[in-house]
A and B are shown apart, each in its own frame.
Chain A
Amino acid sequence: DQQVKQNSPSLSVQEGRISILNCDYTNSMFDYFLWYKKYPAEGPTFLISISSIKDKNEDGRFTVFLNKSAKHLSLHIVPSQPGDSAVYFCAASDGGGADGLTFGKGTHLIIQP
Chain B
Amino acid sequence: DAGVIQSPRHEVTEMGQEVTLRCKPISGHNSLFWYRQTMMRGLELLIYFNNNVPIDDSGMPEDRFSAKMPNASFSTLKIQPSEPRDSAVYFCASQPSRTGELFFGEGSRLTVL
Q: How far is the CA of A98 from the CA of B55 in the complex (A)?
A: 11
Whether B105 lies near A43 (C-beta < 8 A) is yes
The interface size bin for chain B is 20 to 34
**Which residues of B come within 8 Å of A, CB atoms?**
4, 31, 33, 35, 41-45, 48, 55-56, 91, 93, 95, 98-107
Whether B107 lies near A103 (C-beta < 8 A) is no
Q: How far is the CA of A95 from the CA of B56 in the complex (A)?
A: 14
Closest to B106 in A: A43
Q: How far is the CA of A97 from the CA of B96 in the complex (A)?
A: 11
A62-98, CB < 8 A from B: 89, 95-98
**Which residues of A come within 8 Å of B, CB atoms?**
32, 34, 36, 41-46, 49, 89, 95-106
Whether A100 lies near B106 (C-beta < 8 A) is no
Q: Given that A99-B56, A103-B43, A105-B42 are contacting pairs, would A43 and B4 also be in contact in the complex, using a CB cutoff of 8 Å?
A: yes
Whether B106 lies near A41 (C-beta < 8 A) is yes
Task: Tell me the minimal C-beta distance from A111 to chain B in angstroms.
Answer: 22
**B35, B93, B101 pick with most chain A CB within 10 angstroms:** B101
Whether A43 lies near B98 (C-beta < 8 A) is no
Q: Given that A42-B106, A43-B91 are contacting pairs, would A101 and B100 also be in contact in the complex, using a CB cutoff of 8 Å?
A: no
